Structure 1
Amino acid sequence: MTAIRTICCCGFDVDLRKIWRIFGYQKHSILNREFKNLICGGHDGMQIFATVERLDTETLQWERAPSMIQQRCRFGAATFKGKIYVAGGYDGTSFPKSVEVFDPKDGKWAPVSAMNMRRSRVSLVATNEGLFAVAG
């Protein structure tokens, strides 16, 4: 079996029949739906990012969104009750237990209760009952 590493992120617009690409992002998290194609964190092979970018699907242009508090890659991300949550990952020196939430109403990231253990390559899953950190 051959392992394949993410080198780029691609999207396809069915109506326009166009593909767009983002080069240089690895091990990031992507959120869609009400947050309109956000890419959070990740790394470029040299540094780890806290940055967040949003794709305007009308113009296919990337716009900056408020950065996360902590730089991270290999983290979990999910939307829950209209907010974005990111958890765990790797920050370049350690594997944080920290969790952050972004509230689009005030446009800010804020820390919330940390996970019980450090997790990298974690999946964050939203259900009606809450958020669950799986694996990592």
Structure 2
Amino acid sequence: MKSRVWLALLVICVNAQAGEEESTPCDNVESDQQTFACAAFNKQTAERELKSAYDDLIQRIRDQYADEGDKATALVGRMDAAEKLWAQLRDADCKVETYAEKPGSKAFQAAWDTCVAQRSDDRSEYLQSIGQQ
């Protein structure tokens, strides 16, 4: 029950942020099936944005240390390691958050997708803040 309320709140937030010119599976969610599709869409979108934020950060590092190749290489290596550890933490946190749902069920998948989307959005914001002046 708690996960459905949480999912409904997420859908409302996403709908409030969506541009009117874009149509998404999160528009006019009225059924469980639409909620599941919206959660999957949010996860895919968040993961795409996370990859973009990470790629942008790596480019900022390379630009910032253009004349210091060793420093750039070292910092990119640290970022790669940090990103792998963060993904492990995200997955562990989402396993905790989805514990009440039956693995393999649509409710579990929607809760998992929602958790991953939220964590990915938070990580994207963090990555975008690194190296900004």
TM-score, normalised to structure 1, is: 0.25
Q: Which has the higher contact order (CA 8 A, sep 6+)?
A: 2
- Would you tell me which structure has more strand in proportion to its own residues? 1
Structure having the larger proportion of residues in helix:
2
Larger radius of gyration: 2
